[in-house]
Amino acid sequence: MEVDRAWEVIENPHMTEQAMDMIDQENKLVLMVDLEADKNQVQDAIETLFDVTVEKVNTNITSSAKKKAFVRLSPSDDAMDLATELGMM
């Protein structure tokens, strides 16, 4: 995936207390993503932009018609490091 397209897929990190707990406890990031993006596109975008391995992606549509992605990283990658790089910490 091209870097420009990857940034179109990833809109911004979702920063809530629950999202911070997921980073610490589950090695998971919560991101707001393009409504049209599927799980594979989200995975490709994260792997392209941040050179990490994504284990699993779950998505849901919020009540405000936004798409939220829950991205679990492989044990060899640290979600805390990526959250810091994204400016969440």
Asked if pLDDT for residue 71 goes beyond 80, the answer is: yes
Q: Report which residue type is found at 85.
A: E
SS3 43: helix
pLDDT score at 64: 96
Strand order, beta sheet including 67-73: 10-13, 28-33, 67-73, 54-61
Decide if 55 contacts 72 (C-beta within 8 A): yes
> What is the average pLDDT across 69-78?
97
pLDDT score at 88: 82
pLDDT interval class at 83 (50, 70, 90): very high
For the stretch 18-68, pLDDT in tens is 999 999 999 999 999 999 999 999 999 999 999 999 999 999 999 999 999
Please report the domains of the chain, with CATH numbers, ordered by start residue.
Answer: 3-75 (3.30.70.330)
DSSP tag of 62: -
pTM of the model: 0.93
